[in-house]
Amino acid sequence: MTIISFILLILLSVQPLKCQIQSDKNHKPVHLFSKNNLRDYLNFLGSDSLQGRGTGSLGEEISAKFIADKFSELGLKSLRADNSYFQYIPMHGSIPQPESELKIIYQDESYSLKLNKDYLLYTSGEQTFIPSTSPLVFVGYGIIAPEFDYTDYQQIDVQGKIVVFLEGEPHSGADYYFNGETPTIYSLPEAKQRIALACGALGSILILSDENYLNDKWIKTSNEFSFETVTLASSANKNLSILMNPEAAKNLFRNSLFSLSHIYKMHDDNNMRSFHLNCELSFKGIFKERDFLSPNIIGMLEGNDAAKKENYIIISAHYVHLGIGPTINGDSIHNGVLDNALGVSGLLELARAFSQVRPKLDRSIIFLCLTAEEKGLLGSHYYVSSPVVPLYKCIGNVNIDGLAVYDVFNSVVGIGSQYSSLLEVLNEVSIKQGLLLTDIPTQFENWLSYYKSDQASFAQAGIPSILVYEGIDPKYQSIEDALSWFFNYSQNIYHSPFDDLNQSINLNATFQHLILLYSFISTLADSDKVPEWNEDSPFLKARLRSIAEKR
């Protein structure tokens, strides 16, 4: 017996699976899900004993074994050559040390900045080293977007220099220009960093767009950056990428054409400019590093139709969270109960429901629990580069990143549904359940961005993908109270030690969400039509390429 199996025997108190689910020919189970199972899964995955299920930790290893054991109990098929459920991924971890040196150099003096107080690192390790001082260039938002006829790099040379850019993107009230009020992929720091690297920059510095960024907000941001930086061992080289405290960033603009205050005014006026800065920068980082393996867990429920079963629907949820972090009010374990122990528990209940319902679905379903989502969607990035079945045979991805917990709901939001015919399917299923399909509330558009969870990886690989959330119009509570709850969660609980088992969870809302997902997935699995990207979707070319290459 392995040490992990022994630990599981000590920790587990999961109830036996219930008897076979009853259903009619339209896959509408009479007794769909087990509250006891969901509670037991959640209590295990969200417990302090797993220490937040950090990437590459013992808690992750125990969680992965637990999920694989459940897959085995449910009779899910392994798609691996070794008949296991594990897809092991080589990863590299790095933590910057306080001794790291970052300096702004002027003609007659230099200014030293302190890690965590003045700046934070998106990337770490040897790739960040700047062997000598490098000039700095301000490049507006750091965006090149040909489809919007926009570039911040026009007539400015950044080769061998470090670029400085502002958070966000140009304001727009028109959908045809930077998607109107909806953030585009260009607003993401990773997109800006990739553009800078492609233009030959040695590194980049991101400045927050909030001129009045208060110290307590910076402390919270600093806490979020205190976790280990993890990358795929096979990932392309990156370079120095810094997030700078606005207070410290003022020093970058000393004696330059414009001050940081001018930059914020340009942002407000939607009239950004690029220009050279009158200083240089040096960085010597000191890091604690390691190499390790981290698994995705993959199981398949084979379809019942001889032809359709060769097509697959991927149901995904990330099972790894943040692990141990800064102590806040005496607690350092970031349990990740709602993000995403509950989502994984829901995936396991969906797998149980689909595996026991009769008759079986026409198409095959791949249940995929992903690692390292919090580290930049690494598990899903790796999966689409090394899929267990060809990508072109996967007709859709339904990602689960959280489930409803506040109240029974009257509407649903399909994040990413606007890009494909999945919108039509979700609308059809929602109407049957008496639900209205709505948009993301404006105040949560950044937080619920399509690009911030694993569905983005599948979309970028060409697979029509969606994340389904409940709308903010509860059945028994007021909309004002619901907004207050969601705001409190996003600001004070999300990615903190308070996302733990002490939270109140309305299982009626959770099960309504699961029933919606069950009906949505069932419809996709049995439909004669397959989801298609819209003609104006940014992911259509990737789909056409995978089909042409039979990849």
Instruction: Name the residue ranges covered by the structural domains of the chain.
Output: 34-93+290-549, 98-285
Model confidence pLDDT, tens digit, residues 173-224: 888 899 888 788 899 999 999 999 999 999 999 999 887 777 778 888 898 8
Q: Kindly give the pairing relationship between strand 86-96 and strand 203-207.
A: unpaired
pLDDT tens-digit profile, the chain (551 residues): 454 554 454 454 433 333 332 333 344 444 689 999 999 999 999 999 999 999 999 999 999 999 999 999 999 999 998 999 999 999 999 999 999 999 999 998 999 999 999 999 998 877 788 878 999 999 999 999 999 999 999 989 999 999 999 999 999 888 889 988 878 889 999 999 999 999 999 999 999 988 777 777 888 889 889 999 999 998 766 789 999 999 999 999 999 999 999 999 999 999 999 999 999 999 999 999 999 999 999 999 999 999 999 999 999 999 999 999 999 999 999 999 999 999 999 999 999 999 998 788 999 999 999 999 999 999 999 999 999 999 999 999 999 999 999 999 999 999 999 999 999 999 999 999 999 999 887 766 655 578 889 999 999 999 999 999 999 999 999 999 999 999 999 989 999 999 999 999 999 999 999 999 999 999 999 999 999 999 999 999 999 999 999 99
Q: Kindly give the pairing relationship between strand 240-244 and strand 203-207.
A: parallel
- Specify the 3-state DSSP secondary structure of 119: strand
Phi-psi region of 372 (alpha: psi -120 to 50; beta: other; left: phi over 0): left
> Which amino acid belongs to residue 398?
V
- Specify the 3-state DSSP secondary structure of 451: helix
Q: What φ, ψ does residue 178 adopt, rounded to 5°?
A: 50, 35
Q: Kindly give the pairing relationship between strand 162-166 and strand 130-139.
A: parallel
Model confidence pLDDT, tens digit, residues 527-550: 999 999 999 999 999 999 999 999
The reported pLDDT for the residue numbered 13 is: 42
The reported pLDDT for the residue numbered 237 is: 65
User: Closest Cα partner for 212 from 258, 264, 262, 138?
Assistant: 264
Strand partners, 276: 137
Our CA angle for 33, 39, 44, nearest 5°, is: 130
The angle, 0 to 180 degrees and rounded to 10, between the axes of the packed helices 422-432 and 507-526 is: 130
The reported pLDDT for the residue numbered 32 is: 83
User: Closest Cα partner for 190 from 246, 236, 247?
Assistant: 236
C-alpha distances out from residue 397 to 402, 414, 455, 493, 521, Å: 16, 12, 7, 28, 9
Domains 34-93+290-549 and 98-285 share a fold: no
The architecture CATH gives domain 34-93+290-549: 3-Layer(aba) Sandwich (3.40)
The reported pLDDT for the residue numbered 4 is: 52
Query: H or E stretch including 468?
Result: strand 465-470
Q: How far is residue 169's CA from residue 188's CA, in Å, rounded to a whole number? A: 9
Q: How far is residue 147's CA from residue 203's CA, in Å, rounded to a whole number? A: 25
- Tokens representing 432 are 């049957």
Sheet order of strands, 101-105 included: 110-113, 101-105, 274-284, 130-139, 162-166, 203-207, 240-244, 119-121
State the DSSP code for 239.
Answer: -
Can you name the CATH fold of 98-285?
A: Glucose Oxidase; domain 1 (3.50.30)
